[in-house]
Amino acid sequence: MTVIKANNNPALRYIYLSIFASCITIALKSIAAYLTGSVGLFSDAMESFVNLIAGIIALYILIISVVPPDTNHPFGHSKAEYFSSMIEGSLILVAAFSIGYASVIKLLNPGQIVELGSGLVLSMNRSQGSWILLFLFKSKIES
């Protein structure tokens, strides 16, 4: 199997950044959702989890798709990208059902949102951190 390195393919660098940022985002949003009990922050964390899995799948598919044609795949491996779309769509459905379930539970058992300040601070810091990472990484790639 052909192995492509990040320094040979700028798309890989962005995928690695996406995976790294998704891990941090999931951690911060999950903590914020846990502290506040907010279904909105929980749904944000679930969406970030889908983004993480999508980034990992994109990395794997990118590596597979550049493998040259062989006897089993005479036209190459670029069609592997279709599997990525199918898996990501399925993950979005799982996240949607999880969010819907959590929403119904919260509607049936309403409670007061607690630690709102801490949750919002975590969420805002995550957003600022993503922008900082993006600008640092982009300047490194362009140089």
User: DSSP letter at 79?
Assistant: T
**84 falls within a domain:** yes
Which one-letter amino acid corresponds to residue 89? G
Q: Does the pLDDT of residue 23 top 70, yes or no?
A: yes
Which one-letter amino acid corresponds to residue 114? V
Q: Does the pLDDT of residue 31 top 80, yes or no?
A: yes
**77 falls within a domain:** yes
pLDDT tens-digit series, residues 63-101: 887 777 788 877 777 777 778 788 888 888 988 898 888
* Percent composition of the chain: helix, strand, coil (DSSP 3-state, to 5): 80, 0, 20
**4 falls within a domain:** no
Chain Cα centroid distance, residue 97: 18
How many Å apart are CA 36 and CA 4, to the nearest integer? Answer: 43
Higher-pLDDT residue of 2, 110: 110
**129 falls within a domain:** yes
pLDDT score, position 133:
65
**49 falls within a domain:** yes
Residue numbers of the domain that contains 59: 10-142
**93 falls within a domain:** yes
Higher-pLDDT residue of 1, 25: 25
b/e string for 29-38 if b means 16 or more Cβ within 10 A? Answer: bbbbbebbbb
**134 falls within a domain:** yes
pTM of the predicted protein model: 0.65
How many Å apart are CA 62 and CA 91, to the nearest integer? Answer: 19
pLDDT score, position 1:
47
Count of domains observed in the chain: 1
In the chain, the percentage of residues whose pLDDT exceeds 90 is 1
How far apart, in Å, are the Cα atoms of 99 and each of 48, 63, 125?
13, 32, 23
**30 falls within a domain:** yes
